[in-house]
A and B are shown apart, each in its own frame.
Chain A
Amino acid sequence: MKKILIGILTVSLIFSSCQDRLEEAFPNPENYDKTGNLFGGLFTKTLFTWKIYVQDYGEWWWEIAGSGAMGVSSYSQIAHRYITDRYAWYVDYDDLSGTNGFGSATALWEGRLGAFYTGVNTWAVIKDNLASVTGQELDDNYIYYLLLTVVKDYAALNTVDFYNSIPYSEAFKGSERVFFPKYDDPKEIYLTVLDELKSISEELPTAYGKMTASAVATFNNQDIAFRGDVDKWVQYVNAIRLKYALRISGVEEAAASAHIQDVLSKNNLPTTDMVWSMPYDIDIMNGGEWLRGLNEAWPGTFVTDLIMRRMNYGTTLYEPGMDDPRLPVIAFPTKYSNFDDAIGDYRGVSMNADGQKAGYDGGEQYYTGGPTGDVQAHFNQNSRSLYNFVTFTQNKKFPVYMLSLAEVDLLLAEIAEKGLGTTGKTAAEHLKDALKHSTDFWYTRNAESPFETSRQILHPTKPDGSVIDTYANTLVAKYNSKTNLDDKMEIIMQQKYIHLNLMCPYELWAEIRRTRHPKLEPFTFQREVMKPFPERLRYPIAEQQNNPDNYATVRDQDNFTSPIFWVPENLRSIVPYWDNYDYE
């Protein structure tokens, strides 16, 4: 009996220790799974997620290099290659019929849809987990839910701007076993989001007020964008309400106008540029951020004539007061510059590929070492202007962009011009504000760049206020000389192009599709004149595999040519191109 008892005891001891060891070996030792501040951590993670505010290398590489510079920034003529007939693939530039004419499947037109859902799935996780906390713990963390809702809503509208209908109302419900979410009417998504943003903007101060001091301290730490400044978040929400209300103003004017008026009445728009630093210097050789994409795709980052001709007047040299003050920080000087006096010469690339062939063959070429190559070789060889890689590609300090004063100014200019709300200023005055704010923005970017700081031509001093004023007045005069809305919109959008440029090609693409401005240069290649105008992205092929029945309901618009719902009916037939290269 005793032996049996000892036996049983031994066996049960062995088994219990075995059971413990089994459970110890279950988790992956390389994952730290004690989440601590779960809600704040999820919020921070989302702010730092690629393709929401932080732009990523892979997408930019595919968008410019991987597509052979036939992606969004190219079709929108924000940046281009220096094209002659040596790039044979441009023969298909206007082929938007299949899958190979526009962008790249995996990185952009497939990737953007998934990036939205996977990027902000944290919102659903917070929502599910908030249900299990109450009292002060709920009050301390509710702000993260509100702010993540803002981010989710922003990302959702961004995604609608790419694809039109997307799954929204049934999205993020995998944990409820909704495996096949339906595609929603995009207008409904816009209206839902605008209403939700309105209520969050009102709710935020209250929610913030309920937090304990220690919760606020944590929030200050976790909020890598505004360091816990909740008023800035309200301003941000107000600004994007303006942006998205304006976006639908051509198809849903009443609702848009109501939101715009509401925002303006609160008189609380951003007072500073809403950008924030990455926690480290961006590594343009090996990093994961968009600048590496620019670096590797640099032959596709020449400044287009469309932009250059709206900045560089008179001679091709920079002439203060006559030329846009942003020119020397946005564009890279060509070999024709006056290097001794640090006066840059700036020339864009034309969409008349045939027209620039003779010059190219005659020696108007460029250094092929790219932005990491020898700067002097660029100076010696470049006959066209790349986007200034001091300000952009080689700027390890380039911040994460959420919004800028100049962008808001340009929204206000359009609102004022169209009478969608009372802004307190004329459109021209907003335009002038925009120029000043944008000049500040781009000179700040250039100044913070640690690259080649000893070369004055690459780090020009910001012009005096009087010089900027001179140029601003010229711009205003030009604007005021226009007698119809269409021509005025052309100028507002030209300014938007110059300000947002290569930093925000997707926003510009949305705006040119919505407004049909600015008008593009026709593309002439091997004697063929092409005017392609992609209207949207195609759905990822994975949707045919993973959500086939719902995909079938939107399959008829799964092409590159069906307009997004916010394109006003009367503009849909307009393909915004100039007739030739002799344009203003």
Chain B
Amino acid sequence: MKQLYVSCMALLLAISSALAQINVTGAVSDENGPLEGVSILVKGTTRGANTDESGRFTIGTAQGEILVFKLIGYVQQEIVVGSNPVINIQLVSEEAALDEVVVTALGIKRDKRSLGYATSTISGEDLTIAGATQNPFLAMYGKAAGVGVNIGSGGPAAGVNIRIRGAAGLESGTNTRPLFVVDGVPLYDETTSMESRGYDPLNSFDYGSGINDLNADDIESIEILKGAKATVLYGSQALNGVVLITTKTGRGTRGLGIQVSQQVTIDQPFTFIDFQNEYGSGESTRDIQETALNGQTVRKLPLSRFSFGPKFDGSEVMLYDSTMGIYRAHPDNFINFFENAVNSRTNVAVAGGGEMGSVRASYTTNSYKDVLPGFKQRQHTFSFNGNFRPSKFANFEFVNNLYSVNTRNRRPNIQQLVATGLNRDYDYNWMKDFYHDADGFRRNLEDYGLGSSSPGYWPNAISNILWEQNDNLDTDKKIHLVSSIKATLQFTEELSFIGQASLDYTNTDFITENEIVRLNPDRIGGGYKWTKRNTIVQNYQGLVKYENQFGDNWNFFGFAGGAYQQINDNNMFTSTGGMGLLYPGWFSLNNADISNWPTAGGRGQVMGNGRGSDLLYSVLGSATLSYKDSYYLEVQARNDWNSTLQAPNNSYFYPGVSLTWNFSNDVTIPKLEYGKLRFAWADVGGGPFTATGDRYFANNVFSVSQLPYSYGPVSVTPPSALFLDVIKPFRKREFEVGFNTRWFERSRIELDFSFYTNNTYNQIVSQPLTQATGYTSAKINTGNVKNWGYEIFVKAAPVATEKFRWDLTLTAANQFSKVVALYPGITQKYITGNSGFQVWAEEGKRIGEIKAYDYQKDENGNRIVGDNGLYMLSDAVTYTGKNVNPDVFGGLYSDFFFKGFNFHIGFDYKFGGSVFSYTNNYLMGTGVIKASLFGRDEDHGGIAYYVEEGTNRKIRWEHDQAAPAGSADGIVYHDGIILNGVKAVQEGDQTTYQPNDILVAAPTYYQTYINDLSTSWPPDRLFKNDYIKLREIAVSYTLPQRVSQQLKLQKLTLTGSVRNLGYLYKTVPSIDPEGALGAQSYIENSFYPSLRSFIFGVNVSF
């Protein structure tokens, strides 16, 4: 790779040395004709010229120099001089510049002022201002109102969840992801997470999806189409909004420009866990274990998932490998198990253009390492985009983005490490040297009494992780191509045709190479598996476009056409299954120990394949009528025919209409520069694939197989799901109103506000049924859920002088919901969760209400303790009054510009929404956090007691007195606590409640949190999840032009930034609270440390 980079640099140097002096001539005009008096200056010099009355100029310059065109009232423009000695340009008036052009559905560019619905635009610069992230969406936190982003446990190279307008469904499997479109190419996308990969924890990888491959350096802008009206032309794919990504094409470039950037990122792991480092492993402070070592009795470290053991005292103790060591805490053992990772990214882009078009070629190489060693990714991105306009009649555009991504040993699920207890006694890194035996195979921990996978046996858990990450290999090698060609034929000034053919092609080889675990005494383990997966999305689309001005005031803009889409998703694998390998280090099916060939029933262990495809035909049209650029009425419609539904329900129609009033044209408000009111309505919908991610959801079939008896009996399995009616498309009907205003000169304040209300109905879901119905679920259209909310976007420039500028951007979004109706005869629906923590949709309530076990309480709300002095849980789950959905979330970004400096700081925030923190349950229950210290000894508020002979009751005593005669064991204990609450007192039939006075040992109380059964989860680990996060700080400095000129550079920028600095405020202890926004993982189980990234970058333009 290094060689390639060197060659690129050499090429660039060759180009720059070939520069020669030339005379450039040309003409400057605006939309009305030639412009006189435009000043033209060679940047960084005093050389200049002006245009004459016909707009013409001549100037002596050199290739690579920059010409600056200036005229009052017009936007200044810079052109790099190329080899062409003629430069004709058109300047844009400042007023017209206000009329931003935005990309709307199907790539149609429209005046922003004509839009009747909300969109958010994020520029490529916004995405990379604090350095390029592993995937560009990780830089989107809080930058667009109403767009929730979150990263899953798989880390930055794994799945990222994006939800627009709080998209939520009636079941956990509901697809809430928007449609991603790159330059008109819809990407194959899917929900990915570790949880979705089955129960095999160390092989549950999150591979991410196609959007992970996108390269921030190549992105021009991202438009987010939020509402139904904005997305209506995407038909059945756009239930959850659309993210339109436009990549850089070199458009508008004159001559040749070269850009090189280099970025180094250091990812540092950190944790929010506040460990206690006073007590070691064991169930009580008296839990001292001894063993015989070389004929002597010595104290040894126990194996226990609990850390309620003896206080660390520096005494001698035998370690697990029978060496002697010190009994002490290793405060950083958890975080030190992870490492700082240094990552690098290099981008070289060459863009050029002329009269006939422009082109941009870019190459990016990115190497990523995770903080868990073993996980590496290498990514090469080639982008070759541009347009060619041979005549006024025809314009051709092409997009080619080729991604080659090789990843090895993605993050495994290491939840067992937390469940087993993050005990303080040991340095986990000790295992890094110990887990191999002398022959390099995996050490048999059984020989050391460490082999159990029971809770507390962390050596086994750590050894598993190390073996999996360092010795076994799980690679995924991906070739991903996003390609499109588009032709625009301009028949007349009014009438044109746009045709586009596009392809999203992904081929991934998943290869597993598991080493033989050991050869002696028996050969164990080893495996090889090769899976090939191929996804292809083909799109073909043709539109006829017509635009005409009628008289002075009326304008009509319309287009109509058809589209065809075919999606294929195929995979196949072969594997050695459970056969094991014969020879170490040789990974091939030929190395399988075929004496263990599976039986007929085990065919699925060694081979398998899956196929899937769906088709979508569409006709669509749009018509916009405008009056005096003040009023726009737009009507749009699309009809889809989709193979994922059965005829006649496979055809569906979506209409949409919007009205825009640019009221500042008609009404004068002081200080208001621009104002627009907008109203929109649309009814969208779609089939099962969009709704559930399962294209065969509606395919109700008996499946037939043959039992492998020699006489071949046929076995017929009826569907486990009940189909009551033929599935219909789901629908979402939305009304939206909003305004966009810009205030003060040069639009110093922009305020955009949207309010929307929608109903999603006929949702396509699996309604769980009691199995006594004979079915586990019914596949039905159900539900009418009403959602409403608002989105605010404020952009302000509080300071804007010649030298300083300060920009502020704030976004906020809020959403409410109400379940209006479910299926006839069914009034509530379980969405997701488990026995002890459940998320529900119930008629009349907000979607996502949480049920959990509560503490038993008396009529005054006091918790009741049982005879054992511990709180008792209710025997059924009830509504907690909490909801999984956030109330309000967004971001605040500030940019300060001074000379060449830019100081950038970004926050994002979320309030409301609750999460059950499984990690906190474990950390408390195993006794490894400071919060579990209270009551353990006299210093921590523990009460003294002794255990009464015969009754085993704990009787209060004094810390400094010996146990009395009635003591069962003669011991005075110091770890008593009395829980706040009441106890039941029975007198005859009468139960009264009195203040609790029953002593319990503190560890006994804390251990109530570690129950592995969700039915015993106490409700107080259900946390409200509010936070304000300091997301990013960046400082960049661009060298003054005279300096860069001397270096023969056009521009040189240095950037230093930090991402994920921490939280200014958060309500969930011990964990990174980010986990609960955007994803539907309502149960937090985040065991990986958080990453803080330090980024250093240099960006050079030639």
**Which A residues have a C-beta under 8 Å from some C-beta of B?**
18-19, 21-38, 40-42, 44-45, 48, 88, 98-100, 105, 113-114, 116-118, 121-122, 124-125, 166-167, 170-175, 177-181, 221-224, 278-283, 285-288, 368, 373-374, 541-547
Q: Could you tell me if B773 and A171 are in contact, using CB atoms closer than 8 angstroms? A: yes
The smallest C-beta distance from B504 to any residue of chain A, in angstroms, reads: 18
The smallest C-beta distance from B668 to any residue of chain A, in angstroms, reads: 53
Q: Could you tell me if B876 and A279 are in contact, using CB atoms closer than 8 angstroms? A: no
**What residues on A are CB-neighbors of B772 within 8 Å?**
113, 117, 166-167, 170-172, 181, 547
Q: Could you tell me if B713 and A44 are in contact, using CB atoms closer than 8 angstroms? A: yes
What are 16 A-B pairs with beta-carbon distances under 8 A?
A22-B643, A24-B643, A33-B701, A37-B714, A40-B713, A42-B716, A44-B714, A117-B771, A117-B773, A117-B774, A174-B769, A279-B708, A279-B709, A286-B602, A374-B521, A542-B770
Asked if B830 lies at the interface with its beta carbon under 8 angstroms from chain A, I say yes
**What residues on B are CB-neighbors of A374 within 8 Å?**
521-522
**What residues on A are CB-neighbors of B835 within 8 Å?**
105, 541
Q: Could you tell me if A222 and B713 are in contact, using CB atoms closer than 8 angstroms? A: yes
B896-926 at interface with A (beta carbon < 8 Å): none
Contacts A23-B647, A25-B643 given; indicate if A18 touches B617 (C-beta within 8 A).
Answer: yes
**What residues on B are CB-neighbors of A24 within 8 Å?**
643
Q: Could you tell me if A546 and B769 are in contact, using CB atoms closer than 8 angstroms? A: yes
User: Could you say which of B598, B614, B615, B714 has the most chain A C-beta atoms within 10 Å of its C-beta?
Assistant: B714
Main secondary structure on B side of the interface with A: loop
Q: Could you tell me if A286 and B720 are in contact, using CB atoms closer than 8 angstroms? A: no
**What residues on B are CB-neighbors of A41 within 8 Å?**
704, 713-716
Contacts A22-B647, A33-B703, A283-B599 given; indicate if A547 touches B716 (C-beta within 8 A).
Answer: no
Q: Could you tell me if B714 and A36 are in contact, using CB atoms closer than 8 angstroms? A: yes
Contacts A31-B701, A38-B716, A287-B601 given; indicate if A19 touches B521 (C-beta within 8 A).
Answer: no
B690-716 at interface with A (beta carbon < 8 Å): 696, 698-699, 701-705, 707-709, 711-716
**What residues on A are CB-neighbors of B599 within 8 Å?**
280-283, 287
Q: Could you tell me if A26 and B646 are in contact, using CB atoms closer than 8 angstroms? A: yes
B542-575 at interface with A (beta carbon < 8 Å): none
* Cβ-Cβ contact count across A and B, 8 Å cutoff: 208
The smallest C-beta distance from B575 to any residue of chain A, in angstroms, reads: 12
Q: Could you tell me if B714 and A222 are in contact, using CB atoms closer than 8 angstroms? A: yes
Asked if B95 lies at the interface with its beta carbon under 8 angstroms from chain A, I say no
**What residues on B are CB-neighbors of A118 within 8 Å?**
720, 771, 774-776
The smallest C-beta distance from A363 to any residue of chain B, in angstroms, reads: 14
User: Could you say which of A170, A174, A282, A285 has the most chain B C-beta atoms within 10 Å of its C-beta?
Assistant: A174
Q: Bound state CA distance, A226 and B705, in angstroms?
A: 20
Contacts A45-B716, A286-B577, A542-B768 given; indicate if A33 touches B1016 (C-beta within 8 A).
Answer: no
Q: Could you tell me if B830 and A22 are in contact, using CB atoms closer than 8 angstroms? A: no
Q: Which of B617, B717, B768 contacts A45 (CB 8 A)?
A: B717
Asked if B209 lies at the interface with its beta carbon under 8 angstroms from chain A, I say no
Segment of B18-26, B110-118, B604-612 engaged in the interface with chain A: B604-612
Task: With A173-B774, A174-B775 given, name 8 new contacts (CB 8 A).
Answer: A27-B699, A32-B703, A38-B716, A44-B716, A99-B1016, A100-B1011, A117-B772, A279-B601
3 closest residue pairs by CB, A with B: A41-B716, A174-B773, A25-B643
Q: Bound state CA distance, A222 and B605, in angstroms?
A: 26
**What residues on A are CB-neighbors of B1 within 8 Å?**
none
The smallest C-beta distance from A40 to any residue of chain B, in angstroms, reads: 7
Main secondary structure on A side of the interface with B: loop
Asked if B826 lies at the interface with its beta carbon under 8 angstroms from chain A, I say yes
Asked if B950 lies at the interface with its beta carbon under 8 angstroms from chain A, I say no
Contacts A100-B1013, A167-B770 given; indicate if A44 touches B644 (C-beta within 8 A).
Answer: no
Q: Could you tell me if B578 and A543 are in contact, using CB atoms closer than 8 angstroms? A: no
**What residues on A are CB-neighbors of B614 within 8 Å?**
25
Q: Which residue of B lies closest to A541 (CB)?
A: B835
Q: Could you tell me if A22 and B617 are in contact, using CB atoms closer than 8 angstroms? A: yes
Contacts A30-B611, A286-B578, A374-B522 given; indicate if A181 touches B773 (C-beta within 8 A).
Answer: yes
Q: Which residue of A lies closest to B702 (CB)?
A: A35
**What residues on B are CB-neighbors of A30 within 8 Å?**
609-611
Q: Bound state CA distance, A448 and B659, in angstroms?
A: 82
B470-527 at interface with A (beta carbon < 8 Å): 521-522
Q: Could you tell me if B701 and A27 are in contact, using CB atoms closer than 8 angstroms? A: yes
Contacts A99-B1013, A105-B1013 given; indicate if A545 touches B701 (C-beta within 8 A).
Answer: no
Asked if B72 lies at the interface with its beta carbon under 8 angstroms from chain A, I say no
Q: Bound state CA distance, A121 and B778, in angstroms?
A: 14
Contacts A27-B696, A33-B701 given; indicate if A105 touches B1015 (C-beta within 8 A).
Answer: yes
**What residues on B are CB-neighbors of A99 within 8 Å?**
1013, 1015-1016
**What residues on B are CB-neighbors of A368 within 8 Å?**
446
Q: Which residue of A lies closest to B446 (CB)?
A: A368
Q: Which of A31, A174, A545 contacts B778 (CB 8 A)?
A: A174
The smallest C-beta distance from A94 to any residue of chain B, in angstroms, reads: 14
Contacts A22-B615, A100-B1011, A286-B598 given; indicate if A280 touches B717 (C-beta within 8 A).
Answer: no
Asked if B29 lies at the interface with its beta carbon under 8 angstroms from chain A, I say no
Q: Could you tell me if A224 and B709 are in contact, using CB atoms closer than 8 angstroms? A: yes
Asked if B600 lies at the interface with its beta carbon under 8 angstroms from chain A, I say yes
**What residues on A are CB-neighbors of B711 within 8 Å?**
221
Contacts A33-B702, A105-B1013, A279-B600 given; indicate if A124 touches B774 (C-beta within 8 A).
Answer: yes
Q: Bound state CA distance, A223 and B712, in angstroms?
A: 11
The smallest C-beta distance from A343 to any residue of chain B, in angstroms, reads: 28
**What residues on B are CB-neighbors of A88 within 8 Å?**
283
Q: Could you tell me if B768 and A545 are in contact, using CB atoms closer than 8 angstroms? A: yes
Q: Which of A18, A36, A45, A541 contacts B641 (CB 8 A)?
A: A18
Q: Which residue of A lies closest to B694 (CB)?
A: A28
Q: Bound state CA distance, A362 and B713, in angstroms?
A: 56
Q: Bound state CA distance, A223 and B715, in angstroms?
A: 11
B596-631 at interface with A (beta carbon < 8 Å): 596, 598-602, 605, 609-615, 617
Asked if B1049 lies at the interface with its beta carbon under 8 angstroms from chain A, I say no
Asked if B14 lies at the interface with its beta carbon under 8 angstroms from chain A, I say no
Q: Could you tell me if A547 and B770 are in contact, using CB atoms closer than 8 angstroms? A: yes
Q: Bound state CA distance, A116 and B773, in angstroms?
A: 11
Q: Could you tell me if B768 and A283 are in contact, using CB atoms closer than 8 angstroms? A: no
The smallest C-beta distance from A300 to any residue of chain B, in angstroms, reads: 13
**What residues on B are CB-neighbors of A170 within 8 Å?**
772
The smallest C-beta distance from A511 to any residue of chain B, in angstroms, reads: 26
Contacts A173-B774, A177-B724 given; indicate if A29 touches B611 (C-beta within 8 A).
Answer: yes
Asked if B399 lies at the interface with its beta carbon under 8 angstroms from chain A, I say no
Q: Bound state CA distance, A287 and B598, in angstroms?
A: 9
The smallest C-beta distance from A97 to any residue of chain B, in angstroms, reads: 10
The smallest C-beta distance from B554 to any residue of chain A, in angstroms, reads: 31
**What residues on A are CB-neighbors of B769 within 8 Å?**
174, 179, 546
Q: Which residue of B lies closest to A110 (CB)?
A: B835
The smallest C-beta distance from B735 to any residue of chain A, in angstroms, reads: 32
Q: Could you tell me if B643 and A26 are in contact, using CB atoms closer than 8 angstroms? A: yes
Contacts A33-B703, A283-B598, A287-B601 given; indicate if A174 touches B647 (C-beta within 8 A).
Answer: no
Q: Which residue of A lies closest to B452 (CB)?
A: A368
Contacts A40-B714, A174-B769, A221-B713 given; indicate if A545 touches B838 (C-beta within 8 A).
Answer: yes
Q: Could you tell me if B1013 and A546 are in contact, using CB atoms closer than 8 angstroms? A: no
Q: Could you tell me if B612 and A28 are in contact, using CB atoms closer than 8 angstroms? A: yes
Q: Could you tell me if A177 and B641 are in contact, using CB atoms closer than 8 angstroms? A: no
The smallest C-beta distance from A149 to any residue of chain B, in angstroms, reads: 14
Q: Bound state CA distance, A124 and B772, in angstroms?
A: 11
Q: Could you tell me if A42 and B718 are in contact, using CB atoms closer than 8 angstroms? A: yes
Q: Could you tell me if A121 and B611 are in contact, using CB atoms closer than 8 angstroms? A: no
Q: Which residue of B lies closest to A288 (CB)?
A: B601
Q: Could you tell me if A25 and B613 are in contact, using CB atoms closer than 8 angstroms? A: yes
Q: Could you tell me if B601 and A181 are in contact, using CB atoms closer than 8 angstroms? A: no
User: Could you say which of A19, A35, A124 has the most chain B C-beta atoms within 10 Å of its C-beta?
Assistant: A35
Contacts A174-B775, A224-B707 given; indicate if A98 touches B446 (C-beta within 8 A).
Answer: no
Q: Bound state CA distance, A167 and B711, in angstroms?
A: 37
Contacts A121-B718, A287-B602 given; indicate if A28 touches B699 (C-beta within 8 A).
Answer: yes
Q: Bound state CA distance, A32 and B714, in angstroms?
A: 12
B111-161 at interface with A (beta carbon < 8 Å): none
Q: Could you tell me if A28 and B1013 are in contact, using CB atoms closer than 8 angstroms? A: no
